[in-house]
Structure 1
Amino acid sequence: MNVADHFVCKGLVSDFNETFKYVVKEVLKDPSEACGIVIKGCNGSFPIDTATWFLPIPAGKPPHTDPILPEKGKPILKVLHLSDLHIDNEYIIGAEAKCGEMMCCRPAGDDNAGFKAKATIDVPAGKWGTYGNCDSPYRLVEDLMKHISVTHKDLDYVVVSGDLESHADWGYTREGHQEKVRNVTRLMKKYLPGINIYFAQGNHESVPLDAFAPSWTPQEYHMDWMYGTEADEWSDWLPEDSLTT
Protein backbone atom coordinates (compact mmCIF):
# COMPACT_ATOMS: atom_id res chain seq x y z
CA MET A 1 0.00 0.00 0.00
CA ASN A 2 3.09 2.24 0.31
CA VAL A 3 1.63 4.18 3.24
CA ALA A 4 4.89 4.33 5.20
CA ASP A 5 8.37 2.84 5.22
CA HIS A 6 9.12 -0.54 6.72
CA PHE A 7 10.66 0.77 9.94
CA VAL A 8 7.52 2.82 10.67
CA CYS A 9 5.16 -0.08 10.02
CA LYS A 10 7.34 -2.48 12.00
CA GLY A 11 7.28 -0.23 15.05
CA LEU A 12 3.55 0.48 14.88
CA VAL A 13 2.65 -3.18 14.38
CA SER A 14 4.70 -4.05 17.44
CA ASP A 15 3.03 -1.32 19.50
CA PHE A 16 -0.54 -2.13 18.46
CA ASN A 17 -0.15 -5.91 18.31
CA GLU A 18 -1.79 -6.91 21.60
CA THR A 19 -4.40 -4.15 21.53
CA PHE A 20 -5.42 -5.04 17.97
CA LYS A 21 -5.77 -8.72 18.80
CA TYR A 22 -7.94 -7.90 21.81
CA VAL A 23 -10.24 -5.62 19.79
CA VAL A 24 -10.58 -8.18 16.99
CA LYS A 25 -11.42 -10.89 19.50
CA GLU A 26 -14.05 -8.75 21.24
CA VAL A 27 -15.67 -7.13 18.19
CA LEU A 28 -15.45 -9.61 15.32
CA LYS A 29 -17.47 -12.79 15.67
CA ASP A 30 -16.50 -14.58 12.46
CA PRO A 31 -14.04 -14.20 9.53
CA SER A 32 -16.68 -12.75 7.19
CA GLU A 33 -16.88 -9.64 9.37
CA ALA A 34 -13.14 -9.11 9.08
CA CYS A 35 -13.45 -9.50 5.32
CA GLY A 36 -16.19 -6.89 5.28
CA ILE A 37 -13.94 -4.37 7.01
CA VAL A 38 -10.77 -4.89 4.99
CA ILE A 39 -12.01 -5.65 1.47
CA LYS A 40 -14.48 -3.42 -0.33
CA GLY A 41 -17.19 -5.47 -2.01
CA CYS A 42 -16.43 -8.55 0.07
CA ASN A 43 -19.44 -10.80 0.68
CA GLY A 44 -18.85 -10.49 4.39
CA SER A 45 -20.59 -7.75 6.29
CA PHE A 46 -19.59 -5.84 9.40
CA PRO A 47 -22.31 -4.93 11.93
CA ILE A 48 -21.13 -1.40 12.56
CA ASP A 49 -23.61 -0.89 15.40
CA THR A 50 -21.70 -3.35 17.58
CA ALA A 51 -18.37 -1.58 17.14
CA THR A 52 -19.26 2.11 17.27
CA TRP A 53 -20.06 4.22 20.29
CA PHE A 54 -23.13 6.25 19.47
CA LEU A 55 -23.16 9.49 21.42
CA PRO A 56 -26.43 11.38 21.84
CA ILE A 57 -26.09 14.90 20.46
CA PRO A 58 -28.48 17.53 21.88
CA ALA A 59 -30.88 18.84 19.28
CA GLY A 60 -30.39 22.38 18.05
CA LYS A 61 -28.06 25.09 19.27
CA PRO A 62 -28.67 27.80 21.85
CA PRO A 63 -29.14 31.29 20.42
CA HIS A 64 -25.94 33.26 19.97
CA THR A 65 -25.29 36.01 22.46
CA ASP A 66 -22.32 38.33 22.48
CA PRO A 67 -20.13 37.92 25.57
CA ILE A 68 -20.32 40.64 28.17
CA LEU A 69 -16.91 42.15 28.70
CA PRO A 70 -15.85 42.81 32.29
CA GLU A 71 -15.80 46.38 33.47
CA LYS A 72 -12.49 48.18 33.48
CA GLY A 73 -10.71 47.89 36.79
CA LYS A 74 -12.22 44.48 37.63
CA PRO A 75 -9.81 41.73 38.75
CA ILE A 76 -8.31 39.70 35.92
CA LEU A 77 -6.24 36.53 35.63
CA LYS A 78 -3.14 36.13 33.50
CA VAL A 79 -2.98 32.55 32.22
CA LEU A 80 -0.31 30.88 30.09
CA HIS A 81 -1.54 28.08 27.80
CA LEU A 82 1.04 25.71 26.30
CA SER A 83 -0.11 23.06 23.85
CA ASP A 84 1.43 20.35 21.64
CA LEU A 85 5.09 20.90 22.47
CA HIS A 86 5.98 17.61 20.70
CA ILE A 87 9.57 17.48 21.89
CA ASP A 88 11.86 15.28 19.78
CA ASN A 89 14.86 14.05 21.74
CA GLU A 90 16.34 12.82 18.44
CA TYR A 91 16.35 16.26 16.80
CA ILE A 92 19.78 17.01 15.33
CA ILE A 93 20.99 20.42 14.16
CA GLY A 94 22.04 20.16 10.52
CA ALA A 95 20.16 16.93 9.80
CA GLU A 96 18.06 16.79 6.64
CA ALA A 97 14.78 18.65 7.17
CA LYS A 98 13.38 17.58 3.79
CA CYS A 99 13.97 13.85 4.04
CA GLY A 100 10.75 12.56 2.48
CA GLU A 101 9.89 10.53 5.57
CA MET A 102 7.10 10.93 8.12
CA MET A 103 9.55 12.80 10.36
CA CYS A 104 12.79 14.58 9.53
CA CYS A 105 15.52 16.55 11.33
CA ARG A 106 16.69 13.25 12.80
CA PRO A 107 19.92 11.27 12.43
CA ALA A 108 20.42 8.30 10.15
CA GLY A 109 20.88 5.16 12.20
CA ASP A 110 19.45 1.87 13.37
CA ASP A 111 16.55 3.50 15.23
CA ASN A 112 15.51 5.45 12.13
CA ALA A 113 16.43 3.05 9.36
CA GLY A 114 14.49 4.97 6.73
CA PHE A 115 16.62 8.10 7.09
CA LYS A 116 19.48 7.53 4.72
CA ALA A 117 22.69 9.43 5.28
CA LYS A 118 23.17 11.92 2.45
CA ALA A 119 26.39 13.34 1.04
CA THR A 120 24.79 16.78 0.86
CA ILE A 121 21.98 18.25 2.95
CA ASP A 122 19.30 20.12 1.00
CA VAL A 123 17.56 21.76 3.97
CA PRO A 124 19.58 21.56 7.21
CA ALA A 125 17.66 21.46 10.49
CA GLY A 126 17.98 24.74 12.36
CA LYS A 127 19.06 25.26 15.96
CA TRP A 128 15.63 26.33 17.20
CA GLY A 129 13.48 24.15 14.95
CA THR A 130 12.55 23.90 11.29
CA TYR A 131 9.39 24.18 9.23
CA GLY A 132 8.41 20.83 7.73
CA ASN A 133 8.07 17.33 9.12
CA CYS A 134 10.12 18.13 12.21
CA ASP A 135 9.20 18.37 15.87
CA SER A 136 10.56 20.70 18.54
CA PRO A 137 14.16 20.40 19.73
CA TYR A 138 14.49 20.34 23.51
CA ARG A 139 16.57 23.53 23.50
CA LEU A 140 13.62 25.40 21.97
CA VAL A 141 11.32 24.43 24.84
CA GLU A 142 13.91 25.25 27.50
CA ASP A 143 14.62 28.64 25.92
CA LEU A 144 10.87 29.27 25.75
CA MET A 145 10.57 28.63 29.48
CA LYS A 146 13.54 30.90 30.21
CA HIS A 147 11.95 33.69 28.19
CA ILE A 148 8.57 33.28 29.89
CA SER A 149 10.18 33.32 33.34
CA VAL A 150 11.75 36.73 32.58
CA THR A 151 8.98 38.44 30.61
CA HIS A 152 5.87 37.11 32.38
CA LYS A 153 6.56 37.12 36.10
CA ASP A 154 2.91 37.85 36.93
CA LEU A 155 1.29 34.61 35.73
CA ASP A 156 -1.60 33.36 37.87
CA TYR A 157 -1.41 29.80 36.57
CA VAL A 158 -0.36 27.70 33.57
CA VAL A 159 -2.33 25.17 31.51
CA VAL A 160 -0.43 22.52 29.51
CA SER A 161 -2.90 20.72 27.29
CA GLY A 162 -0.93 17.62 26.42
CA ASP A 163 1.14 16.09 23.61
CA LEU A 164 4.61 16.43 25.09
CA GLU A 165 5.92 13.51 23.04
CA SER A 166 7.18 13.63 19.46
CA HIS A 167 5.24 12.36 16.43
CA ALA A 168 7.62 9.40 16.06
CA ASP A 169 4.87 7.08 17.26
CA TRP A 170 6.52 3.97 15.80
CA GLY A 171 9.17 4.21 18.53
CA TYR A 172 6.97 4.92 21.55
CA THR A 173 7.77 3.20 24.85
CA ARG A 174 6.16 3.53 28.25
CA GLU A 175 9.50 4.31 29.85
CA GLY A 176 10.23 7.03 27.31
CA HIS A 177 6.85 8.68 27.83
CA GLN A 178 7.21 8.60 31.60
CA GLU A 179 10.64 10.21 31.39
CA LYS A 180 9.29 12.94 29.08
CA VAL A 181 6.60 13.81 31.65
CA ARG A 182 9.19 13.94 34.44
CA ASN A 183 11.57 16.03 32.38
CA VAL A 184 9.05 18.61 31.18
CA THR A 185 7.42 18.90 34.61
CA ARG A 186 10.74 19.55 36.33
CA LEU A 187 11.75 22.01 33.62
CA MET A 188 8.60 24.03 34.28
CA LYS A 189 9.07 23.85 38.04
CA LYS A 190 12.60 25.19 37.57
CA TYR A 191 11.59 28.24 35.53
CA LEU A 192 8.12 28.88 36.96
CA PRO A 193 8.53 28.21 40.70
CA GLY A 194 5.54 28.92 42.88
CA ILE A 195 3.09 29.01 39.96
CA ASN A 196 0.37 26.37 39.72
CA ILE A 197 0.66 24.32 36.53
CA TYR A 198 -2.22 22.12 35.36
CA PHE A 199 -1.56 19.40 32.79
CA ALA A 200 -3.99 17.49 30.57
CA GLN A 201 -3.55 14.32 28.56
CA GLY A 202 -2.92 14.46 24.83
CA ASN A 203 -3.50 11.65 22.36
CA HIS A 204 0.29 11.20 22.10
CA GLU A 205 0.66 10.47 25.82
CA SER A 206 -0.53 6.88 25.41
CA VAL A 207 1.42 3.83 24.27
CA PRO A 208 0.38 2.87 21.69
CA LEU A 209 -0.84 6.14 20.20
CA ASP A 210 -4.52 7.08 20.78
CA ALA A 211 -5.07 4.06 23.05
CA PHE A 212 -7.03 5.12 26.15
CA ALA A 213 -8.87 1.94 27.05
CA PRO A 214 -12.28 2.04 28.80
CA SER A 215 -12.37 0.99 32.46
CA TRP A 216 -14.11 -2.32 31.68
CA THR A 217 -11.23 -3.62 29.56
CA PRO A 218 -8.43 -5.78 31.02
CA GLN A 219 -5.97 -3.95 33.27
CA GLU A 220 -3.05 -4.52 30.90
CA TYR A 221 -4.57 -2.06 28.41
CA HIS A 222 -5.11 0.72 30.94
CA MET A 223 -2.99 3.86 31.35
CA ASP A 224 -2.30 3.39 35.07
CA TRP A 225 1.44 3.24 34.36
CA MET A 226 1.26 6.86 33.12
CA TYR A 227 -1.35 8.12 35.57
CA GLY A 228 0.85 7.06 38.48
CA THR A 229 3.84 8.94 37.09
CA GLU A 230 1.73 12.03 36.49
CA ALA A 231 0.27 11.88 40.00
CA ASP A 232 3.79 11.76 41.46
CA GLU A 233 5.07 14.64 39.34
CA TRP A 234 2.00 16.88 39.56
CA SER A 235 1.05 16.30 43.21
CA ASP A 236 2.33 19.77 44.22
CA TRP A 237 -0.53 21.34 42.27
CA LEU A 238 -3.36 18.89 42.93
CA PRO A 239 -5.59 18.28 45.97
CA GLU A 240 -5.06 14.99 47.75
CA ASP A 241 -8.41 13.49 46.74
CA SER A 242 -7.68 13.97 43.02
CA LEU A 243 -4.63 11.72 43.24
CA THR A 244 -6.80 8.67 43.92
CA THR A 245 -9.10 9.11 40.91
Structure 2
Amino acid sequence: MADVVRRSVPCGVCKLGVSLLHREVQQGSSFYEIRKKFVSLCVSFKIQTEPVCTGFFDVFGPEVLPALNVTKLGTSDICRMVLGESCDGTKTHIENWSIDLPEKRRPGQPVFKILQISDPHLDPDYVAGSPANCEEPLCCREYSTPNSSKPTIPAGRWGTYGKCDAPSILLENMLEHIVLEHPDIDYVIWTGDLPPHDIWNQTKESNLAIIKHTVEQMLAYFPNTAVFPAVGNHESVPAGRPINRWMPRRIRSSCSSLVRGNQRVKS
Protein backbone atom coordinates (compact mmCIF):
# COMPACT_ATOMS: atom_id res chain seq x y z
CA MET A 1 0.00 0.00 0.00
CA ALA A 2 2.87 2.38 0.74
CA ASP A 3 4.26 1.75 -2.75
CA VAL A 4 0.86 2.56 -4.26
CA VAL A 5 0.84 5.89 -2.43
CA ARG A 6 4.39 6.72 -3.52
CA ARG A 7 3.62 5.92 -7.15
CA SER A 8 0.35 7.83 -7.31
CA VAL A 9 1.13 10.94 -5.23
CA PRO A 10 3.79 13.30 -6.65
CA CYS A 11 5.82 15.23 -4.10
CA GLY A 12 4.32 18.54 -5.20
CA VAL A 13 0.77 17.26 -4.84
CA CYS A 14 1.58 15.92 -1.37
CA LYS A 15 2.84 19.34 -0.29
CA LEU A 16 -0.20 21.02 -1.78
CA GLY A 17 -2.52 18.62 0.04
CA VAL A 18 -0.74 18.94 3.39
CA SER A 19 -0.70 22.73 3.08
CA LEU A 20 -4.41 22.72 2.27
CA LEU A 21 -5.28 20.53 5.24
CA HIS A 22 -3.09 22.53 7.60
CA ARG A 23 -4.56 25.86 6.49
CA GLU A 24 -8.13 24.61 6.78
CA VAL A 25 -7.48 23.22 10.25
CA GLN A 26 -5.89 26.49 11.38
CA GLN A 27 -8.88 28.42 10.04
CA GLY A 28 -11.29 26.26 12.00
CA SER A 29 -13.05 24.73 8.99
CA SER A 30 -15.44 21.90 9.75
CA PHE A 31 -14.59 18.26 9.13
CA TYR A 32 -16.99 18.08 6.19
CA GLU A 33 -15.71 21.31 4.63
CA ILE A 34 -12.16 19.96 4.71
CA ARG A 35 -13.39 16.59 3.48
CA LYS A 36 -15.00 18.15 0.41
CA LYS A 37 -11.80 20.01 -0.54
CA PHE A 38 -9.57 16.99 0.11
CA VAL A 39 -11.68 14.67 -2.04
CA SER A 40 -11.85 17.27 -4.81
CA LEU A 41 -8.04 17.59 -4.82
CA CYS A 42 -7.56 13.81 -4.67
CA VAL A 43 -9.90 13.17 -7.61
CA SER A 44 -8.72 16.17 -9.67
CA PHE A 45 -5.11 14.98 -9.60
CA LYS A 46 -6.28 11.41 -10.33
CA ILE A 47 -4.72 10.09 -7.15
CA GLN A 48 -7.58 7.64 -6.67
CA THR A 49 -11.25 7.13 -7.39
CA GLU A 50 -13.77 9.23 -5.48
CA PRO A 51 -14.90 6.35 -3.19
CA VAL A 52 -11.28 5.61 -2.24
CA CYS A 53 -10.44 9.30 -1.67
CA THR A 54 -13.56 9.72 0.46
CA GLY A 55 -12.86 6.54 2.40
CA PHE A 56 -9.27 7.57 3.12
CA PHE A 57 -10.41 10.88 4.55
CA ASP A 58 -13.22 9.35 6.60
CA VAL A 59 -10.88 6.76 8.15
CA PHE A 60 -7.72 8.84 8.61
CA GLY A 61 -9.16 12.35 8.89
CA PRO A 62 -10.17 12.11 12.57
CA GLU A 63 -6.57 11.14 13.40
CA VAL A 64 -4.66 13.39 10.99
CA LEU A 65 -6.50 16.70 11.40
CA PRO A 66 -5.90 17.07 15.17
CA ALA A 67 -2.25 16.11 14.63
CA LEU A 68 -1.85 18.83 12.00
CA ASN A 69 -3.18 21.32 14.50
CA VAL A 70 -0.30 20.70 16.92
CA THR A 71 2.58 19.28 14.87
CA LYS A 72 5.88 21.12 14.62
CA LEU A 73 6.80 19.30 11.42
CA GLY A 74 6.81 21.29 8.21
CA THR A 75 5.10 20.34 4.96
CA SER A 76 8.31 18.92 3.48
CA ASP A 77 9.02 16.82 6.58
CA ILE A 78 5.54 15.30 6.51
CA CYS A 79 5.72 14.47 2.80
CA ARG A 80 9.17 12.91 3.20
CA MET A 81 7.75 10.69 5.94
CA VAL A 82 4.94 9.59 3.60
CA LEU A 83 6.75 9.43 0.26
CA GLY A 84 10.35 8.83 1.31
CA GLU A 85 13.51 10.82 0.75
CA SER A 86 12.78 11.12 -2.96
CA CYS A 87 10.42 13.93 -2.02
CA ASP A 88 12.68 17.02 -1.87
CA GLY A 89 15.79 14.87 -2.15
CA THR A 90 16.99 15.77 1.33
CA LYS A 91 17.54 13.43 4.23
CA THR A 92 15.58 13.71 7.43
CA HIS A 93 16.68 12.67 10.90
CA ILE A 94 13.31 11.01 11.42
CA GLU A 95 14.17 8.15 9.07
CA ASN A 96 17.61 7.25 10.46
CA TRP A 97 17.66 3.99 12.45
CA SER A 98 20.44 2.01 14.09
CA ILE A 99 19.94 -1.61 15.19
CA ASP A 100 22.45 -3.71 17.13
CA LEU A 101 22.40 -7.32 15.94
CA PRO A 102 23.27 -10.20 18.30
CA GLU A 103 26.33 -12.38 17.80
CA LYS A 104 26.10 -15.46 15.61
CA ARG A 105 25.08 -18.75 17.22
CA ARG A 106 27.97 -20.47 18.93
CA PRO A 107 28.69 -24.20 18.41
CA GLY A 108 26.86 -26.42 20.87
CA GLN A 109 23.89 -24.13 21.34
CA PRO A 110 20.44 -25.73 20.89
CA VAL A 111 18.75 -25.57 17.50
CA PHE A 112 15.00 -25.05 17.13
CA LYS A 113 12.70 -25.51 14.19
CA ILE A 114 10.68 -22.30 14.04
CA LEU A 115 7.85 -21.33 11.75
CA GLN A 116 7.30 -17.64 11.13
CA ILE A 117 4.08 -16.52 9.48
CA SER A 118 3.93 -12.87 8.55
CA ASP A 119 1.55 -10.62 6.63
CA PRO A 120 -1.10 -13.10 5.47
CA HIS A 121 -3.44 -10.20 4.60
CA LEU A 122 -6.50 -12.39 4.23
CA ASP A 123 -9.10 -10.90 1.90
CA PRO A 124 -12.52 -12.45 2.52
CA ASP A 125 -13.85 -10.50 -0.49
CA TYR A 126 -11.37 -12.06 -2.94
CA VAL A 127 -13.19 -13.45 -5.98
CA ALA A 128 -11.49 -15.55 -8.64
CA GLY A 129 -12.09 -14.08 -12.09
CA SER A 130 -12.60 -10.52 -10.85
CA PRO A 131 -10.37 -7.68 -12.17
CA ALA A 132 -6.81 -8.09 -10.91
CA ASN A 133 -5.62 -4.81 -12.47
CA CYS A 134 -8.36 -2.50 -11.27
CA GLU A 135 -8.47 1.24 -10.63
CA GLU A 136 -8.39 0.93 -6.83
CA PRO A 137 -5.27 0.21 -4.72
CA LEU A 138 -6.64 -3.27 -3.89
CA CYS A 139 -8.15 -5.47 -6.59
CA CYS A 140 -9.44 -9.03 -7.13
CA ARG A 141 -12.86 -8.24 -5.72
CA GLU A 142 -16.26 -8.58 -7.33
CA TYR A 143 -16.80 -4.82 -7.10
CA SER A 144 -13.29 -3.83 -8.30
CA THR A 145 -13.42 -1.19 -11.04
CA PRO A 146 -11.91 -2.53 -14.29
CA ASN A 147 -8.90 -0.61 -15.58
CA SER A 148 -10.10 1.88 -18.19
CA SER A 149 -6.89 1.82 -20.24
CA LYS A 150 -5.78 -1.84 -20.12
CA PRO A 151 -7.37 -5.22 -20.84
CA THR A 152 -8.76 -6.84 -17.71
CA ILE A 153 -6.59 -9.50 -16.07
CA PRO A 154 -8.76 -12.04 -14.22
CA ALA A 155 -7.86 -12.97 -10.65
CA GLY A 156 -6.57 -16.51 -10.25
CA ARG A 157 -8.08 -19.13 -7.99
CA TRP A 158 -5.05 -19.34 -5.68
CA GLY A 159 -4.26 -15.64 -5.68
CA THR A 160 -2.80 -13.08 -8.05
CA TYR A 161 0.52 -11.28 -7.76
CA GLY A 162 0.22 -7.50 -7.81
CA LYS A 163 -2.59 -5.44 -6.30
CA CYS A 164 -4.40 -8.34 -4.63
CA ASP A 165 -4.36 -9.93 -1.19
CA ALA A 166 -4.66 -13.60 -0.26
CA PRO A 167 -7.83 -15.63 -0.81
CA SER A 168 -8.95 -17.98 1.96
CA ILE A 169 -8.15 -21.07 -0.11
CA LEU A 170 -4.49 -20.04 -0.39
CA LEU A 171 -3.97 -19.62 3.35
CA GLU A 172 -5.85 -22.83 4.16
CA ASN A 173 -3.73 -24.79 1.69
CA MET A 174 -0.53 -23.22 3.02
CA LEU A 175 -1.31 -24.22 6.61
CA GLU A 176 -2.34 -27.73 5.57
CA HIS A 177 0.96 -28.16 3.74
CA ILE A 178 3.01 -26.85 6.66
CA VAL A 179 1.36 -29.17 9.17
CA LEU A 180 1.75 -32.16 6.84
CA GLU A 181 5.38 -31.55 5.85
CA HIS A 182 6.68 -30.10 9.12
CA PRO A 183 5.08 -31.86 12.09
CA ASP A 184 8.15 -31.21 14.26
CA ILE A 185 7.91 -27.42 14.54
CA ASP A 186 9.00 -26.27 18.02
CA TYR A 187 7.06 -23.03 18.02
CA VAL A 188 5.44 -20.47 15.74
CA ILE A 189 6.15 -16.75 15.52
CA TRP A 190 3.08 -15.06 14.06
CA THR A 191 3.92 -11.47 13.21
CA GLY A 192 0.59 -9.96 12.30
CA ASP A 193 -0.81 -7.89 9.46
CA LEU A 194 -3.88 -10.09 9.16
CA PRO A 195 -6.49 -7.81 7.49
CA PRO A 196 -6.45 -6.86 3.80
CA HIS A 197 -5.03 -3.62 2.40
CA ASP A 198 -8.32 -1.78 1.87
CA ILE A 199 -7.38 0.63 4.63
CA TRP A 200 -9.77 3.31 3.32
CA ASN A 201 -12.72 0.99 3.87
CA GLN A 202 -11.96 -0.70 7.20
CA THR A 203 -13.75 -0.56 10.53
CA LYS A 204 -12.97 -1.93 13.96
CA GLU A 205 -15.63 -4.56 13.42
CA SER A 206 -14.27 -5.74 10.06
CA ASN A 207 -10.72 -6.02 11.37
CA LEU A 208 -11.82 -7.80 14.53
CA ALA A 209 -13.72 -10.32 12.40
CA ILE A 210 -10.53 -11.06 10.43
CA ILE A 211 -8.52 -11.37 13.65
CA LYS A 212 -11.08 -13.72 15.22
CA HIS A 213 -11.17 -15.92 12.11
CA THR A 214 -7.39 -16.19 11.80
CA VAL A 215 -6.90 -16.85 15.52
CA GLU A 216 -9.37 -19.75 15.30
CA GLN A 217 -7.57 -20.96 12.18
CA MET A 218 -4.18 -20.98 13.90
CA LEU A 219 -5.60 -22.81 16.92
CA ALA A 220 -7.08 -25.45 14.63
CA TYR A 221 -3.82 -26.12 12.78
CA PHE A 222 -1.43 -25.78 15.73
CA PRO A 223 -3.41 -27.09 18.73
CA ASN A 224 -0.34 -28.40 20.56
CA THR A 225 2.33 -25.96 19.40
CA ALA A 226 3.25 -22.71 21.11
CA VAL A 227 2.27 -19.73 18.97
CA PHE A 228 3.67 -16.31 19.80
CA PRO A 229 1.62 -13.58 18.09
CA ALA A 230 2.60 -9.99 17.49
CA VAL A 231 0.33 -7.17 16.39
CA GLY A 232 1.14 -5.66 13.01
CA ASN A 233 0.45 -2.16 11.77
CA HIS A 234 -2.64 -3.33 9.86
CA GLU A 235 -4.59 -4.64 12.84
CA SER A 236 -5.45 -1.14 14.00
CA VAL A 237 -8.01 1.24 12.53
CA PRO A 238 -6.76 3.45 11.00
CA ALA A 239 -3.95 1.21 9.77
CA GLY A 240 -0.54 2.13 11.12
CA ARG A 241 -1.91 3.96 14.12
CA PRO A 242 0.98 3.90 16.65
CA ILE A 243 -1.13 4.16 19.80
CA ASN A 244 -4.53 2.57 19.51
CA ARG A 245 -7.19 3.03 22.14
CA TRP A 246 -9.20 -0.06 21.28
CA MET A 247 -6.64 -2.57 20.07
CA PRO A 248 -4.83 -3.77 23.22
CA ARG A 249 -7.95 -4.66 25.20
CA ARG A 250 -9.86 -6.37 22.40
CA ILE A 251 -7.03 -8.23 20.70
CA ARG A 252 -5.23 -9.32 23.85
CA SER A 253 -8.08 -11.65 24.83
CA SER A 254 -8.01 -13.34 21.41
CA CYS A 255 -4.26 -13.63 20.99
CA SER A 256 -3.46 -14.65 24.56
CA SER A 257 -5.07 -18.04 23.98
CA LEU A 258 -2.39 -18.78 21.40
CA VAL A 259 0.45 -18.62 23.91
CA ARG A 260 0.38 -21.92 25.75
CA GLY A 261 1.37 -21.13 29.29
CA ASN A 262 1.83 -24.77 30.22
CA GLN A 263 4.31 -25.40 27.43
CA ARG A 264 8.04 -24.83 27.63
CA VAL A 265 10.37 -24.30 24.72
CA LYS A 266 12.77 -27.22 24.48
CA SER A 267 16.26 -26.54 25.75
TM, length-normalised to structure 1:
0.71
Report if aligned partners of 2:123, 2:166 keep a CA contact under 8 Å in 1.
yes
SS at match of 2:189: strand
SS at match of 2:165: coil
Instruction: Choose which of 174, 190, 193 in structure 2 pairs with 1:163.
Output: 193
Larger Rg: 1
- Give 5+ residue unaligned stretches, structure 2: 1-44, 80-91, 262-267
SS at match of 1:88: coil
SS at match of 1:145: helix
Shift, 1:168, TM fit: 0.9
Q: Does 2:248 correspond to 1:179?
A: no
2:112 — aligned with what?
77
Shift, 1:68, TM fit: 4.8
1: CA distance, partners of 2:75 / 2:242:
26
Q: Does 2:9 correspond to 1:9?
A: no
1: CA distance, partners of 2:94 / 2:51:
36
Report if aligned partners of 1:77, 1:156 keep a CA contact under 8 Å in 2.
yes
2:142 — aligned with what?
107
2:252 — aligned with what?
231
Shift, 1:164, TM fit: 0.7
2:172 — aligned with what?
142
Aligned residues: 203
Shift, 1:173, TM fit: 0.6
Instruction: Choose which of 84, 88, 91 in structure 1 pairs with 2:123.
Output: 88
2: CA distance, partners of 1:36 / 1:193:
50
Give the direction of change, closer, same or farther, for the CA distance of 1:37–1:154 in structure 2 (3 Å limit): closer
Identical aligned residues as a percent: 31
Report if aligned partners of 1:172, 1:207 keep a CA contact under 8 Å in 2.
yes
Give the direction of change, closer, same or farther, for the CA distance of 1:194–1:38 in structure 2 (3 Å limit): closer
2: CA distance, partners of 1:3 / 1:117:
14
2: CA distance, partners of 1:125 / 1:65:
43
2: CA distance, partners of 1:234 / 1:66:
31
Report if aligned partners of 1:178, 1:226 keep a CA contact under 8 Å in 2.
no
Shift, 1:230, TM fit: 2.0
1: CA distance, partners of 2:189 / 2:110:
20
In terms of fraction of residues, the more helix-rich structure is 2
2: CA distance, partners of 1:83 / 1:38:
28
1: CA distance, partners of 2:105 / 2:53:
51
- Give 5+ residue unaligned stretches, structure 1: 40-51, 214-221, 240-245
Report if aligned partners of 2:131, 2:146 keep a CA contact under 8 Å in 1.
no
2: CA distance, partners of 1:212 / 1:205:
11
Shift, 1:129, TM fit: 0.4
Report if aligned partners of 2:48, 2:135 keep a CA contact under 8 Å in 1.
no
2: CA distance, partners of 1:7 / 1:66:
50
1:48 — aligned with what?
none
TM, length-normalised to structure 2:
0.66
Shift, 1:191, TM fit: 0.9
